[in-house]
Structures are given as C-alpha cells and as structure tokens.
Amino acid sequence: AQSVTQLDSQVPVFEEAPVELRCNYSSSVSVYLFWYVQYPNQGLQLLLKYLSGSTLVKGINGFEAEFNKSQTSFHLRKPSVHISDTAEYFCAVSGGTDKLIFGTGTRLQVFP
C-alpha cells in the first residue's frame, strides 16, 4: 500500500521569495509521484510527475521537484513565486496502477 504525507497544511510566502512544499511518501513497491495544483473553484492540474530517470523533474510555471529515494521525499520548489501561484498543492503517489493516493494538500498563500 502507498501513502503520502504533506507536512505543511499552509505555507505563507512573500512574492518573489523562494518556496518549498514538502511531501513524503511510503510504498512497498516502485513509486510514481505527482504534484497537482488546484486553483480556487477549479479542478486539479498536473504540475509535474516522476516516473523514472532523472530525479530532478521540471514542471510547468517554473516549478521543479526532486525525487529522493533514501529520504522517501518528493519536495516541490520554486525559486521565485508570484501572486498567481496562490493555490492548493497536492502530492500524489501511485504504486504502478491508475489508483492515485493524494496527500492532504498544502495551501500556498503568496503575499505582495
């Protein structure tokens, strides 16, 4: 079975500052990892995913994440955030099937 822990329920940050949203996972099999973003009153949109290969994954809107197998982590980073990045961010894991297990989400609030 797989599980995901997002350690921070809320992350406040000033515009143009760097940000890191933390995600830890557990799995007894190979993992595939995802970050999704949900803007207010919208559905989820894929930011990036790790399936295999390079452990540093680049996604849309300037986000990137690093898969760290030894620390079972997949933290999301952005060097300089914008007001428009204010949203809910979800980390998700799959053990190789279509079933995604989502974390509880991190609310990123960017202040001017």
**Residue in 7, 11, 13, 44 binding another protein, rule: CB under 8 A:** 44
Which residues, other chains included, contact 24 with Cβ-Cβ below 8 Å and sequence gap of 6+?
Answer: 4, 5, 7, 71, 72, 73, 74
Query: In this complex, which beta carbon is closest to another protein, that of residue 17 or of residue 51?
Result: 51
Q: Which region, judged by CB under 8 A, interacts with another protein, from 14-22, 43-51, 62-70, 79-87?
A: 43-51
User: Which of positions 47-86 make contact with another protein (CB under 8 A)?
Assistant: 49, 51-52
Rounded Cα gap, residues 4 and 74, in angstroms: 10
The number of C-alpha atoms within 13 Å of 79 and in the hemisphere containing its C-beta is: 3
Residue pair 10/107 in contact by the 8 Å Cβ criterion? yes
- Interface with another protein includes 32 (CB under 8 A)? yes
Q: Which region, judged by CB under 8 A, interacts with another protein, from 19-27, 38-46, 57-65, 76-84?
A: 38-46
